Chains A and B, each alone.
Chain A
Amino acid sequence: MRTGSSMLNWRAASLALAVVVLAALPTVASAFFINFVMTQTLMMGLAAATIVFLAKYGGMVSLAQFLFFGVAGFMYGNAALEVGSRGLNLGLPPWTAVGFALIVTTVAAFLLGALASRTTGLYYLMLTMVYAVIGYFVFAQVTEISGPSGITSIERPDELAAPVSLYYTALALSVLAYIGFRALGRTAFGLALQGVRDDPVRMASLGFNVPLHRTLAFTLGGFVAGLGGLVNVWWNGQIDPASIGIGPTLVLLIIAVIGGVSYFEGAWLGAFVYVAMFTYLRDLPLVDRIGITEARFNTVIGVVVLLIMVLSPQGLAGIADRFRRRLSDRRRPVAETSDRSEGASHRAQSIDK
């Protein structure tokens, strides 16, 4: 247990340090870095973390998470706007609109999750991709709730008027989601979900309701992705059907893959790499001379994803984790490491992650 305990301490210390650094960042970094790069990183990371959550605990790789990101944004826009020719113009107070958006998003996630709860593996991926495509077309075609051509002039609540407050909101939600998802892994529900991931037939024979566990996990993922979607619509001021097309949907999966789908921290790491590359790559000296212009961004991202999948299927967080493990192995006496069986070590790691 010493190893597991020290790992937890290490993780808690790292997280606390990251939170302190991120909280202090606005005092030293430029406005653009905070309000554009980091705010976008945190909200995209938040949505990508739901992919990690479903994949890591439930073995479900979902492509529908960006849909819930968008549903929350559209619903907030419909609810909060009072006048104009776009959307339902329900004119609700901002925080009521937040509640409305989250309820609709969560209910949608529950219903779609229930429909998908009996599929696994590749079929689950395909089904959630179908959700994403159908979602896009619903918002593109049902212009009463999406525009036409999107909902614009969406304002954020007065309490979040200052640009940096959006950054802190995204940071707070990200930290809560990270802690929450990790803590959930040790609850009865989380452990049962991991059991469902490993052997659904055995879990069913033990009396666990496998589809319900999957549905509830998907619902929670949708809710958290919706939180990210709210920050996004406050940050962007508008949302349109193209915002949730298949392109952005795949971007979220790419972010999760870059960071590592087995690591929650990987979601934010991947989002940072993606946003930083998108923003700064083209500014590197002479990079355009080798053909890497802004028009080649997707090519560069594709190459990065390819390299990561070849060199480290566990993503950037996996590389960092391997590096840390190697360091700790070097420090630990040989006798102490050898008395643990490989299986026990693997189990401890999978719960601790």
Chain B
Amino acid sequence: MRNMKRPRRTTAVLAAAVMALVGCSDGGSSGLPADEGGGTIDTSEGVKLGILGQCEGPFGGFHEDTVGGTALAMVNHAGATVESATSALDGFSGAEVDGTPIELVGVGCGDDTPDRIIEEVRRLVEQLGANVIIGPLSGDEGIAVAEYAKEHPDLTVLAGISGSQEQTLQVQAPNYFRFYGDGAIWNAGLGDVLHHQEGWDDVAVIADDYSFGHTSAAGFIADFCGVGGNVTARVFPPLGTTDYSSYIAQLPGPDEVDGYFWAVGGTGTQAALEAFVNAKGDLSGDQHAGNLFFNPDLAQSLGTDIAGAYVGGFATLPGDVTTPAIEEYLASADATWETLAGGVSGNEPAPPSTAAAFGFFYGYYSAGVALVRGLEAAGGFDDPEVLHQSLSGLTLELPYGDISLDENRSGIVDVGLSRLVVDENGEVVQEAAAIIPGVDQSFGGTFSPDTPAPSRDFPACEERDLPWEGNAIEVVDGVPQE
């Protein structure tokens, strides 16, 4: 009996201790160090930069690209030197803008989930003392980081290449800046071309079931339906699906629609198209279009029949478009590193310009340049609010075109549409087809802070006036025909 009574007494004493603990958590500031330091942003020692990359998950292969983009911006515009000639992940040193040092304090490792990226941004800001963040890479991550930025007004976040619409249009954190387009913007004009030039009327859409997939599909649907087309089916497989057969089965057959629009990315693009070939027969390029994930590498397993497909734009322009600024930018990447193992080269060492020409690298580069130009305009980093105002008013002169921000601090950009074609060597390559100038994320009012976020059933398929309908600038042999 002694044994049974003692634990009850112990339990009572401990329960009282717990109640006392509960009393401690009265909600007000307790004056404890843990309450004082939680996410406080210190700007007294210059810029402490944290980069949010992605080393795991569907886009884990682009981790090197994310750090590389920012490092190249620091090398080209802030006098930095890289720490390694073969890996961007080793970072850079010596970056300085008008006397304000920029120190890389850490690189976060996302895995495409918001939970993980929040943990990473907290680690960078709250443990390593970052006061400026460049990143993240992926759609849902962008929304989570924008929310985090909203809670920490002295933090400055320059989005990496995360393409969801909501992070700027809906979240509206005053310290979150995006110097590139979003998933919807990058498909602007594609529907116009397909409906009016290629004669597509009915289309089936298949897109990843997360914010970037939704945004990407929303841009195409708003555009294609806006000019009079009809979307007859929308299928959304979860991101990271490996067996797409059940989702392909939900698509109408090739004889029931004029074409298909694909916004399946990461490791899923190839798998989804192969599942399509298995279920519905061979591909024919003139019946397929895709967002930025539709690239010439697909021909390796799908054959040259993929040629003819139209592809939406991304942060950069297709490789056949060359200007002195683009050449200088790519040459600077080759001069900075000997090789980089970026995502485009399958994480095998390759000339750094291979990675630099792709949007993931370039988005982080743009953010780095924006930070430098913002600091120059703000005259230092004494007051984050001044930096935020400077960033909001910037027009960045970048290799692939100038970018300014709208009232929600999201980029107004020129979108370069392209087409997969067979070159003289019989290989499938990407060739610029048209440039859609000055696209912003509102799509002429289709999307606004008051409309729902892009989702499986938003926007509806409706005819609308689009500002760029008929304004596409044709590109011939890599030269825009203005």
Contacts and interface: CB of A to CB of B under 8 A. Distances in A.
Physical interaction between A and B:
yes
Nearest to A19: B17
Given A238-B147, A279-B127, A162 B55 contact: no
B33 A26 contact: yes
Interface string A74-90: 00000000000110000
Interface string A212-248: 0000000000000000000000001111101101001
Given A149-B210, A176-B15, A164 B113 contact: no
A179 B63 contact: no
A293 to B, nearest CB: 7
Given A243-B115, A295-B63, A31 B14 contact: no
B284 to A, nearest CB: 32
B144 interface: yes
Contacts of A12: 7, 10, 13-14
Contact of B143 (A34, A35, A149, A176): A149
Contact of B147 (A152, A176, A245): A152
Contact of B118 (A167, A182, A236): A236
A53 B7 CA distance: 18
Nearest to A5: B3
Grouping DSSP codes into helix (H, G, I), strand (E, B) and loop, the A interface class, with mixed when no group exceeds half, is helix
Contacts of A152: 114, 143-144, 147, 171
A162 B35 contact: yes
A27 interface: yes
A85 B25 contact: no
A31 B37 contact: yes
A242 B2 contact: no
A153 B3 contact: no
B37 A32 contact: yes
A148 interface: yes
B34 A23 contact: no
B18 A165 contact: no
Contacts of B32: 26-27, 164
A163 interface: yes
Nearest to B1: A1
B453 interface: yes
Interface string A135-152: 000001001000011101
A279 B123 CA distance: 8
A315 B60 CA distance: 32
Contacts of A205: none
Contacts of A31: 33-40, 126
Nearest to A11: B10
Contacts of B17: 16, 19, 23, 175
Contact of B30 (A32, A162, A240): A162
B29 interface: yes
B456 interface: yes
Name the prevailing secondary structure of the B interface residues: helix
A240 B140 contact: yes
A15 interface: yes
Contact of A240 (B13, B14, B35, B113): B113
B115 A240 contact: yes
Contacts of B126: 31-32, 35-36
B2 A5 contact: yes
Nearest to B239: A242
Interface string B441-453: 0000000000011
Interface string B11-53: 1011101100110111111101111111110000000000000
Nearest to B213: A149
B8 to A, nearest CB: 8
A208 B28 CA distance: 49
A227 to B, nearest CB: 13
B10 A164 contact: no
B109 interface: yes
Given A8-B6, A164-B30, A164-B34, A237 B21 contact: no
A295 B60 contact: yes
B7 A23 contact: no
B127 A32 contact: yes
A338 interface: no
Nearest to A153: B147
B170 A150 contact: no
Contacts of A143: 455-456
A237 B15 CA distance: 29
B238 interface: yes
Given A1-B2, A26-B33, A183 B11 contact: yes
Contacts of B36: 31
A158 interface: yes
A165 B31 CA distance: 11
A294 B55 contact: yes
Contacts of A183: 7-8, 11
Given A168-B22, A236-B118, A148 B34 contact: no
Given A169-B25, A183-B11, A85 B453 contact: yes
Contacts of A166: 25
A199 interface: no
A89 to B, nearest CB: 12
Interface of B: 2-4, 6-8, 10-11, 13-15, 17-18, 21-22, 24-30, 32-40, 55-56, 60, 63, 89, 107, 109, 112-115, 118-119, 122-123, 126-127, 139-140, 143-144, 147-148, 151, 164, 170-171, 209-211, 214, 238, 452-453, 455-456
Given A36-B126, A172-B22, 5 more contacts: A26-B34, A30-B34, A165-B27, A242-B114, A293-B109
16 contacts: A1-B3, A5-B3, A8-B6, A23-B24, A29-B33, A149-B140, A152-B144, A159-B25, A163-B39, A167-B34, A186-B4, A236-B118, A237-B148, A242-B114, A279-B123, A293-B109
